[in-house]
Amino acid sequence: MTETQGFTIWFTGLSGAGKSTIADLVIPELERRGRVVEPLDGDVVRTHLSKGLGFSKEDRDTNILRIAFVADLLTRNGVATICCPISPYKETRDAARAQIGEFVEVHVDATVAEIAEHRDPKGLYKKALAGEIEHFTGVSDPYEEPVNPELRLDTAGRDPEESAGAVLARLEELQLLPDEVRA
């Protein structure tokens, strides 16, 4: 049996940037192409693996390192692992990169203004911008942009379907996914 190459797609970006939305479009396409996929999304992780952790730098880092630990195990076993934590600190993302063999960092890029004005499904930016939420990434907490990610998605310029297509194309380029045989 030929071994399937595992990899981790690590979506990073502000809350509301579209990490989960884009991941939810990428996942069925990977499955359609025969991959075993395991999502480790921020929201789900925080209710299980990282239950009880808050949003201080220390707790955020612990959350990321736990996700990276599990992602590494899955990736080593041929799984297409999809992580969607905000992961605001460069050094901690780099630690995840160092731990995980095949690491595809995708910066889901959107400005605070764009999200606050046009998205903000949970109304959190409104509160954060009014000073009502401490440690809110992009407003009252830092977000360190990736310097050299495998892919940067400008979400203001393209819809989630286009972004998902760009992720799949990048995986093909990186030879982590066979090119689709197009008729």
Hey, how many other C-beta atoms are within 10 angstroms of the C-beta on 145?
A: 12
Site for ligand ATP, residues 118 to 137, rule: CB under 6 A:
119, 121
Q: Which of 12, 15, 63, 81 binds ligand ATP (CB under 6 A)?
A: 15
Q: Which stretch binds ligand ATP (CB under 6 A): 15-23, 44-52, 59-67, 96-104?
A: 15-23
Can you say how many angstroms the Cα of residue 87 is from the centroid of all Cα atoms in its chain? Answer: 8
Among 7, 9, 10, 13, binds ligand ATP (CB under 6 A): 13
Structure tokens at 27: 């996942």
Whole-number Å distance between alpha carbons of 177 and 8: 12
Q: Is there a catalytic annotation at residue 163?
A: no
The option from Mg ion, ligand ATP, none interacting with 8 (CB < 5 to 8 A, set by class) reads: none
Of 72 and 120, the one with the shorter C-beta distance to ligand ATP is 120
Q: Which residues bind Mg ion (CB under 5 A)?
A: 19-20, 84
Helical segments of the chain, H only: 19-32, 42-47, 57-76, 90-99, 112-118, 124-129, 160-173
Neighbours of 41 (CB within 10 A): 17
Please report, as ranges, the residues that interact with ligand ATP according to CB under 6 A.
13, 15-22, 42-43, 84, 86, 108, 119, 121, 155, 159-160, 163
